[in-house]
Structures are given as structure tokens and as C-alpha cells.
Amino acid sequence: MKRSVIIFFLMSLTFAWGQSIIPEHNKVVNYTQILFQTTPVDFASIYEFQFDSIDGDFSKPIFQKIDSTHVTIVNGFEFGGSYKWKVNAYDQHQNLLGASDIFNFKIRKSSTVDDANFRFRVIKSEKDFNENEVIFLDYSRVAINRKGEPVWFMPALDEDIRNSRIRDMKMTGFGTITYLTPKSCREVTIDNQLVWQTPSHNVSSNDSVADVYHHEFTKTSRNTYLVLSKEFVDKTLTNGDQTINQVPITVVKEYDQNGEVIWYWSSLNYITDNDLLEVGKKVFLGNTFGHANSVSESKDGKKVYVGFRDLNSILCVNKESNKLIFSYGDKIPSDTTKNGVGFFKKQHAAIPYSKGKILVFNNNIRGSTSSVIIFSEANDESESQIIWEFPCDFDTLMPGNSDRMGNAEHLKSDGILVNMGSVARLFEVNPEKKVTWDCLPEQWNQDSLEWRPYSNYRLNHQSSLYPKYASISLKKDINDENYISICNEGTDSDDYKLIIKSKKGKILDTVLFDLNHNQSYRYYLSKKIISKGHSFEVISESTGKTYELNFSAL
């Protein structure tokens, strides 16, 4: 039996090494945190990954990592560097099964990750952070780690991106990246390959003064896209000596994968002509009513929250009926609800914090202290209440008031990560209101020869550049029992479906399970399953990505 097994995996080495290689040979990438994958070697228990400079000979590798699977994430490469890598595979007794070919890759340079131009100065770090954590910064067009080191940058896809300021750049639950420009919303891979974008269309003759898409673009867990957009409605309004015949309004659209609008909400559902004339006079300058600047949805997808900066208001809308459930904050004349009045001013990025709670960055009026606020949602029995608030004037190093931009995100560690917008400061605060991490984004000014603050509209935190990824391989335990191993290589937890098929495609078994990062699931191979031509298919329930493994009789 042992001999036949040895013959089998040596054949696998001969024909399989070099397939399914990530990054592929001679790949040029735009990130220094890299996921490496080889083809799995049957019955390998240890994979020794070695990395060297392009001119090295592996006698003294610059990196070396041992992993139990054929997939691993490595940090610490340099932008502009050229490298080579290889892998040695060993069995459970540490016998060498074989060595892979040598593969090359190169990492691009960019002015956005050049420390002579930009830096992210960490001035406080009082907790242990995972080395894989990344924070996306939209105006900077980079992702940094907790040391303030850039680990990814966005290359320009075309002139539209090079010449536009992108906003709301964030990683999706599918491991892709979304962002918007005034004329387009896009989803790309970390390699900046286009996955999806909003359909091309003309909004109106006035679109030269309009941001077609603005402030927020989000891919939902349902594989749809939620976006703030601007439209014009034919309506004559007069305010003194000013008259307009087209009123600019904010709309929320939800697109499907085909670019079709499957849900639509207009700010006209909320306002009257009298509201426009009393509190919406900026519409005569071409600005949308109330300056909507955020849209998010509840976890179950049944409610949408739309934030209006100039109204100091957040609306909760029922998606099925399109009707207002509650409004929070100050009111327009026609709104009779009474929740959250005075909670916040000029706010940004209202998002569900947990069930029945809302997290918002409260910019506040000019000159007053900005803050991060968590407030309860209203219901039929109780009004909304402020549950937690953290003022941003916690020291004198930077101003405590941010007039524009900004957001906050709730982390799995229960901390809150904050971007102060026009005050170029990023920090994390824990529930006890202690700042545990503090970072100042800065740009070098060649004229004044000094570092100056560099603001970002939004930040987005992720566990890594690879939140969802899995591996599947054939292994043997200490009792020489054969099993299929499925490992969650991604840094987020995920749910999986394992499907076992016969040679003719008949489904023999289906198993559902969930895994945390680096956790594995074993499926032992019975005598019935160990037959020629069987195949194993693993599907990620969150991304739909499929991983396959095929082998002959053992």
C-alpha cells in the first residue's frame, strides 16, 4: 500500500506542480501582503515556503514560512522589489516528497506608497494587532497596516480614475474592492481587474454641475449594489428672484449584477415643495436637497438608513413599502417624528452598529467638538437614546472639530475605528473610551519643506487583503487513515458546503460546516468513497467560489 501511494504522489508532483500557482510565474502585483498557493501534494503534512531576491540562490532566504497547507499569507515584501519563491513538501514523518519549480514575481511602485511623499505616522499603539490587518484609505488610494506601512495601492484603470478623486473605497465580503467617482461606481479585484461597474447613461443636461454618483457605494451580501445618486426632476420652484425648472434630488438605487435597478428610493418621498423652499434653498445652486451623504442597510436587508448632512437627519426607510419608519435628528417642517433631535449635527456615515443601534460620526457645527455616537433605534414602546459617545478632543495634538468628511467602524474586537475626515487623524477607541491606536496621515510639502496633514473621506478596516479563501487537499492522519482536509485560509470566518460526487457526477454526500481562520475540517474517506474517479467540491457560502479536488483510486 505504501509503495502504491508513493508512486501516486510522485506522479502528482511530476504533473501537478506549476498548476494553480498564485501568484502566477512572472506576475506583477500592487501589494506587499501576498497569498501564495501551490498545487496540493497528496499526503503532504508540511509545506516549506522559501522566498529570496531575484538574484538570490535560496542559500539564505529573506523569508521562510512553514505551513500545514499549500496556501499561506506572507507580509513584509517591498514595493519595487523583485523576488523568487519555491516550496518543499514533506510527509508526516518529515520525508521530502518533492520540491517545486522556482517562480518569480515583482511588486510595482507608486508615488502613493513612496515614504518620501506620504507617511502614516503611528503615534500610539497600545494593543496587539494582527499583522494581516489592513485599513483602506480612499483619498490616499492605499491600504495600510497597523504599523502605518502601506501594503496595497490602487493603480489607475483609465483616465477617469487618474483624473478623479475616488471616494468610499472599501473591501467587500467577497474580497473585492468597491469605490466611486462622480461618473462611475466600480468593483475591482485587489489586482485592479474590473468586476462590475454602473451602466453608462446621461443623467440630464445639467450633469456638468452634478455628481451622478456621490458619497456611498456598497456591495451587499446578496451580490447587489447600493448607491447614492443624483437626478433632476422637472418642477418649477421660485425663491425670491430665483427660479429653477429642474430640481436636483438624491436617490438611492440598488443594482443587480446585470446593471438593472431592482430598488429605488427618492428624497421626494420625504419632502414637500414647502420643505424645499424653507430648508432646501441650496437646490437653487444645483445641490441636492439636504446633502445626502450616506446610505446603509440593516443586516436582514429590510431597512435602509439615509443620512442628510445639512438636515442633521438620518432616515430609516422600509425597503418593501419605501415608506419612512423613523427619522432621527433635526426635522424638516413636514416631518412630525420626534426621535434623536439634537443628537448630532452635520453627521457622516450612519451605519447599523448592532441590532437596534446606530453608529454615526458626528461632525457637529463648526467650532464645536466632533464625536462618535451610538444611539438606540426607536420603536413603538420607547424613543431613541444616546447609548455611548466619545468626544474627539481627547488631546491637543490635533483639532477636536472636523467640519467635513469622516466615518467610524465597529471592529470585531469591539473597538471603534475612527477617521476624523478633514482633521487628518485615524484612531481606535475601546468601549471604555481609551484610545488604543492613533495615526496621522501626512504628505510632504515641497514648497514649505514640511509634513502636512492629509485627509481622507472614509476608512475601511479588513482582517487582511484575503478575507475569504480556502484550500482543499488529500491528507493522512497518524493512523494512516486517508481524509480530505478543507482549511479556511482566509482571515474571516466562513461557511462551506462539501459535495462528494461519483465518476458519473452522482452526488454521494453533502456536508455543511463553518470554519474560523486557519481552522480545518476533515472528511474521512470510507472504502465506498475510495474508488476511481470520485471528485470533491467545496463551495464558499459567502462568495460562491468553488474549490475542487480529483484523484484516482488509492
How far CA 199 is from CA of 56, 193, 259, in Å, comes to: 48, 17, 6
How far CA 90 is from CA of 45, 182, 475, in Å, comes to: 6, 53, 12
- Minimum mean pLDDT range among 29-43, 95-109, 198-212, 513-527: 198-212
Q: Which of 227-241, 245-259, 337-351, 453-467 has the highest mean pLDDT?
A: 453-467
* pTM > 0.95: yes or no: no
Backbone φ/ψ region at 162: left (φ over 0), alpha (ψ -120 to 50), beta: alpha
User: Average pLDDT, stretch 406-432?
Assistant: 96
Task: Kindly calculate the radius of gyration of the chain based on its CA atoms and give it in whole angstroms.
Answer: 27
- Minimum mean pLDDT range among 131-145, 251-265, 524-538: 524-538
Peptide bond into 23 cis (omega under 30): yes
Sign of CA dihedral 7, 13, 19, 23: positive
1 vs 499 pLDDT, higher one: 499
Residue 518: name the closest of 130, 42, 57, 231 by CA: 130
Confidence of residue 158 (pLDDT cuts 50, 70, 90): low
- Minimum mean pLDDT range among 56-65, 196-205, 505-514: 196-205
Confidence of residue 10 (pLDDT cuts 50, 70, 90): very low
Alpha helix ranges (H) inside 45-186: 159-162
| The pLDDT of residue 36 is above 60 | yes
List, for residues 421-441, the tens digit of each pLDDT value: 999 999 999 999 999 999 999
| The pLDDT of residue 11 is above 60 | no
From start to end of 221-370, where are the E strands? 225-239, 242-255, 261-266, 292-297, 303-308, 313-318, 324-329, 348-354, 357-362
List, for residues 528-552, the tens digit of each pLDDT value: 666 566 788 999 999 999 998 866 5
Sign of CA dihedral 11, 13, 14, 18: positive
255 vs 286 pLDDT, higher one: 255
Longest dimension (CA), the chain: 94
| The pLDDT of residue 370 is above 50 | yes
User: Average pLDDT, stretch 84-97?
Assistant: 93
> What pLDDT is stored for residue 148 in this prediction?
97
How far CA 263 is from CA of 18, 24, 184, 224, 295, in Å, comes to: 46, 40, 18, 10, 13
403 vs 202 pLDDT, higher one: 403
Residue 551: name the closest of 60, 11, 2, 139 by CA: 11
How far CA 277 is from CA of 53, 238, 251, 257, 273, in Å, comes to: 66, 8, 19, 38, 6
> What pLDDT is stored for residue 160 in this prediction?
55
Length, in residues, of the chain: 554
Q: Cell 437614546: give the residue.
A: 385
Helix (H, G, I), strand (E, B) or coil at 441: strand
> What pLDDT is stored for residue 464 in this prediction?
97
Q: Which of 132-136, 160-164, 208-212 has the highest mean pLDDT?
A: 132-136
Backbone φ/ψ region at 467: left (φ over 0), alpha (ψ -120 to 50), beta: alpha
Give the mean pLDDT of the chain. 89
| The pLDDT of residue 115 is above 90 | yes
Residue 498: name the closest of 547, 532, 543 by CA: 547
User: Average pLDDT, stretch 18-27?
Assistant: 84
> What pLDDT is stored for residue 159 in this prediction?
56
> What pLDDT is stored for residue 526 in this prediction?
77
| The pLDDT of residue 369 is above 80 | yes
List, for residues 258-284, the tens digit of each pLDDT value: 999 999 999 998 999 899 888 888 888
65 vs 282 pLDDT, higher one: 65
| The pLDDT of residue 12 is above 90 | no
Q: pLDDT exceeding 90 applies to what percent of the chain?
A: 72
How many other C-beta atoms lie within 10 A of the C-beta of residue 335? Answer: 18
Residue type, 255: Y
Confidence of residue 320 (pLDDT cuts 50, 70, 90): very high
Helix (H, G, I), strand (E, B) or coil at 285: helix
